[in-house]
C-alpha cells in the first residue's frame, strides 16, 4: 500500500516559559515534544497512535494537519513536503485532511443550527452552489448515521446527545470528501454504551469513502478495536510499531508490555491480573544519548543508558526500538531504521 503521509525524522521542539507541572524555576525551558520520529500512514489503513499524556500524540496530529511545522525533518503528504505548500495547494491540503476532536461539547458552536455547522466548511472552500451544498450536507449527515438527515438539519447542538454531536463533528469533517481523517481521542468523552457505535462508524467510513484514518488515543482497548496497525509513543519517541494484533498480543518493547499489563481486565472469576508496577516516570528529558525508558525499565542494561536504540524491524511490519531485541538497534553511522 502507498503511504499517504510520511514522517521523516520529525523533531518538534517547544519553548516553554517556566513549568507548572514539575515545579522548576521560571524562565525559558525547552521541551522536545517529538524526537526524530519516522513512520508512514498507509493509504486506506486505520493507524492507531497510543501513548500517555505528554508522549507527543497530539503534536503528531497537529503536524499531520499542518497546524504546526516541524523544527526538523519533513512531513510528506502524497510525497509532497508540507513545508512547501502554498496557495491553492495548501487550500487543497486543508480540504483533504480533516480532524475530529475529543470533546463534541466544545468543538461545536452551540449558537448555530446543525445545517449551518456542517455546511460552513463547504462555504469556506467555495464548494458547490447553495442547493447543491444542502444536498452535500444531507449526504454527510446520512453517512454519519444521522438519519433521516432532514430531522437533524434544523436542530441545535444542545438538542443532541454526546454521541450524536460527535456524529455531527464527523459529518462536518467528511462533507469535504477528505482523504485523511485525524481523530484525536474521538470517543474518550463519550459514554461506554455509545463508543462502539462511533468506532464502527469510523471503520465503515474508511471502507465506503476510501478514507485513511489516524486514530489517536491513550486507551489501548479502543485502539485494539479499531486500528489495523498501532504505533506506541513514549516521551516523544516512537518505541514500537506494527500490526495491532501482533503489538498487543506479543508486545516487544518493555514499555508496551507495561502498558498492556496495566489495562484493567474484565475477569470475573479466577486469578486477577498481576500488577507489574513500574517506578513512576520522570518527565525530564535525558541529557546524554540513552533509551528514554531506561530509568523505569525492568530490563535495562548498561547499553540502554549509554546509547539510544533505533527502531528495527524484527518481524515483517513489526518494529521496535529496544536493545533487548536486537544488536541492530545500536546506531550505525548514517544508518536509519
Contact footprint for another protein (CB under 8 A): 20-23, 52-53, 145-147, 161-163, 191-200, 218-225, 248-249, 258-260, 262-269, 272-273, 275, 277-278, 280-281, 283
φ/ψ of residue 291, rounded to 5: -75, 130
Q: Classify residue 128 as exposed, middle or buried by CB count within 10 Å of its CB (0-12, 13-18, 19+).
A: middle
CB atoms closer than 10 angstroms to residue 126: 7
CB of 279 to another protein, least distance (A): 10
Q: Which is nearer to another protein, 204 or 336 (CB)?
A: 204
Could you give phi then psi for residue 93, rounded to 5 degrees? Answer: -60, -45
Q: Which helix (H) or strand (E) holds 7?
A: strand 3-17
Of 52 and 313, nearer to another protein (C-beta) is: 52
Judged by CB, which is closer to another protein: 163, or 178?
A: 163
**Of 198 and 311, which CB lies nearer to another protein in the complex structure?**
198
Q: How far is the CB of 291 from another protein (least distance, A)?
A: 17
Q: Which is nearer to another protein, 77 or 255 (CB)?
A: 255
Specify whether the CB–CB gap between 312 and 238 falls below 8 A: no
CB of 33 to another protein, least distance (A): 17
CB of 46 to another protein, least distance (A): 14
**Residue that the C-alpha cell 525492568 belongs to:** 298
SS (H, E, C) 194-246: HHHHHHHHHHHHHHHHCCEEEEEECCHHHHHHHCCEEEEEECCEEEEEEEHHH
CB of 300 to another protein, least distance (A): 16
Amino acid at each position: 500500500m502507498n503511504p499517504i503521509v510520511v514522517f521523516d525524522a520529525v523533531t518538534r521542539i517547544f519553548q516553554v516559559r517556566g513549568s507548572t507541572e514539575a515545579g522548576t524555576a521560571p524562565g525559558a525551558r525547552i521541551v522536545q515534544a517529538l524526537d526524530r520520529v519516522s513512520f508512514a500512514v498507509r493509504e486506506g489503513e486505520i493507524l492507531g497512535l497510543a501513548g500517555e499524556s505528554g508522549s507527543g500524540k497530539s503534536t503528531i496530529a497537529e503536524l499531520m494537519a499542518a497546524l504546526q511545522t516541524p523544527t526538523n525533518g519533513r512531513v510528506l503528504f502524497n510525497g509532497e513536503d508540507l513545508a512547501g505548500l502554498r496557495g491553492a495547494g495548501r487550500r487543497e491540503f486543508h480540504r483533504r485532511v480533516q480532524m475530529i476532536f475529543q470533546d463534541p461539547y466544545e468543538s461545536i458552536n452551540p449558537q448555530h443550527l446543525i445545517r449551518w455547522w456542517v455546511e460552513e466548511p463547504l462555504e469556506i472552500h467555495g464548494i458547490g452552489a447553495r442547493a447543491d451544498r444542502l444536498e452535500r450536507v444531507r449526504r454527510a449527515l446520512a453517512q454519519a448515521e444521522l438519519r433521516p438527515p432532514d430531522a437533524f438539519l434544523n436542530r441545535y447542538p444542545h438538542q443532541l446527545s454526546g454521541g450524536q454531536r460527535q456524529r455531527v463533528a464527523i459529518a462536518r469533517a467528511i462533507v469535504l470528501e477528505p482523504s485523511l481523517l485525524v481523530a484525536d481521542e474521538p470517543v474518550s468523552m463519550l459514554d461506554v454504551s455509545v463508543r462502539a457505535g462511533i468506532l464502527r462508524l469510523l471503520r465503515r467510513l474508511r471502507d465506503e469513502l476510501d478514507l485513511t484514518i489516524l486514530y489517536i488515543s491513550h486507551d489501548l482497548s479502543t485502539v485494539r478495536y479499531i486500528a489495523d496497525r498501532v504505533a506506541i509513543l513514549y516521551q516523544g519517541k516512537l518505541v514500537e510499531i506494527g500490526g495491532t494484533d501482533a503489538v498487543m498480543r506479543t508486545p516487544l518493547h518493555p514499555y508496551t508490555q507495561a502498558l498492556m499489563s496495566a489495562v484493567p481486565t474484565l475477569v470475573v472469576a479466577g486469578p486477577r491480573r498481576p500488577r507489574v508496577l513500574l517506578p513512576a516516570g520522570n518527565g525530564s528529558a535525558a541529557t546524554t544519548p540513552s533509551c528514554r525508558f531506561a530509568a523505569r525499565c525492568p530490563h535495562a542494561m548498561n547499553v540502554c543508558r549509554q546509547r539510544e536504540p533505533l527502531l528495527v524491524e524484527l518481524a515483517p511490519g513489526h518494529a521496535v526500538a529496544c536493545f533487548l531485541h536486537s544488536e541492530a538497534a545500536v546506531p550505525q553511522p548514517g544508518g536509519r531504521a
